[in-house]
Copies of this chain bind each other. A is one copy, B any other.
């Protein structure tokens, strides 16, 4: 069980900067700035902001890495589906440039750059804006971390913004390249669905990890609980509180997606979004179930603890209670009075020994009847 021991340590965890209180920094950092001022809130996770573009339709596809934002614009105005992906958010100028070209509201750009937003979907008529959380579980510390992924669905164009380099979209690119499945035949809305689905599927990975942790700790709890078990349970509870914050808005997000009447979303894609909604519900269900289980574990821990103390107390009580009167008897005949006739009697010693035996057996009998031994 020791491999998990380093989990949930507070303060020393590398991912600890990005925890709950981190979310407050936005407001503090931004006080004094007018609303809509572009400022990147969050850790700088990549060296250099990187832009890539994929442009495709049923018959062809183009994939390019771009130097400047303007290079992407030539693709955006075509009839083909264009996917512009931005890795890294600290170059606010580039984000601003994209915003200008596609007519994105400054508040939206601000939200893209503020990596502490909750998941949500907003329909701005000309485009749909989605904020998602990519859940990552730090294998080292077991702590949950979340990277923000923002999606903009414009006409024929999808723009995705990510904080860091590595993503869960590689398999989607591969599918576009090879033309497998429906993706090359469908429009930009289907691409947004696919991207959202990829991020949502990542929740399952995190849940699976947590599920395994629960099973481990459960086993430990029922087999050999110790002070560490308690810390593990507490840590788990803490992570789940965090996870719930990312999970609960998801349902509303997908629901809005599903009922949206925006012309940007094709009726055929709706069926897929319904599927996504089921996933969101399943994630919520499981998160809730995990919460119930962890509560049960805390209660059970307390009961087991109490049980154990009972065991310890019983042994102490039995030992002490048997020997205390015996020692007292021995103490009496250890007194130095001159006038103690029993001491001189030749049957005094064996008599006292027999008395002690009787008392001792009586005690044992008493405990047996109480089912303590």
Contacts and interface: CB of A to CB of B under 8 A. Distances in A.
A170 to B, nearest CB: 9
A271 B107 contact: yes
Interface of A: 10-11, 20-21, 23-28, 30-37, 105, 107, 110-111, 117-118, 120, 122, 124, 168, 171, 174-175, 180-183, 193-194, 197-198, 201, 203-205, 207-208, 211-212, 214-215, 218-219, 222, 227, 230-231, 233-234, 237-238, 241-242, 244-245, 248-249, 271-272, 274-275, 278-279, 281-282, 285-286, 289, 292-293, 296-310, 312-317, 319-321, 323-328, 330-340, 342-349, 352-353, 372
B337 A348 contact: yes
A260 to B, nearest CB: 16
Contacts of A26: 204
Contact of A32 (B32, B117, B171, B203): B171
A21 B326 contact: no
Contacts of A372: 312
A60 B177 CA distance: 55
Nearest to A30: B201
Contacts of A334: 330-331, 334-336
Nearest to A252: B281
Contact of A302 (B203, B282, B302, B313): B302
Contact of A310 (B124, B309, B345): B309
Contacts of A205: 24, 27-28
Nearest to A174: B32
A11 to B, nearest CB: 6
Contact of A278 (B120, B183, B231, B307): B120
A305 B300 contact: no
Given A204-B28, A238-B293, A289-B244, A310 B305 contact: yes
A313 B309 contact: yes
A169 to B, nearest CB: 11
B275 A111 contact: yes
Given A105-B271, A234-B222, A315 B321 contact: yes
A310 B306 CA distance: 8
A186 B150 CA distance: 28
A271 B127 CA distance: 14
Contacts of A110: 275
A306 B305 contact: yes
A239 to B, nearest CB: 11
A224 to B, nearest CB: 8
Given A337-B352, A338-B344, 19 more contacts: A10-B218, A21-B211, A23-B282, A24-B204, A34-B194, A107-B275, A120-B278, A230-B304, A230-B307, A237-B292, A315-B317, A316-B320, A320-B320, A330-B331, A331-B331, A334-B335, A335-B352, A337-B343, A339-B345
Nearest to A124: B271
Given A215-B10, A300-B230, A331-B330, A208 B321 contact: no
Contacts of A107: 271-272, 274-275
A234 B313 CA distance: 24
B201 A27 contact: yes
Contacts of A289: 20, 241-242, 244-245
Nearest to A307: B227
Contact of A328 (B35, B36, B307, B323): B323
The 3 A-B residue pairs whose C-beta atoms are closest, nearest first, are: A34-B181, A21-B211, A330-B331
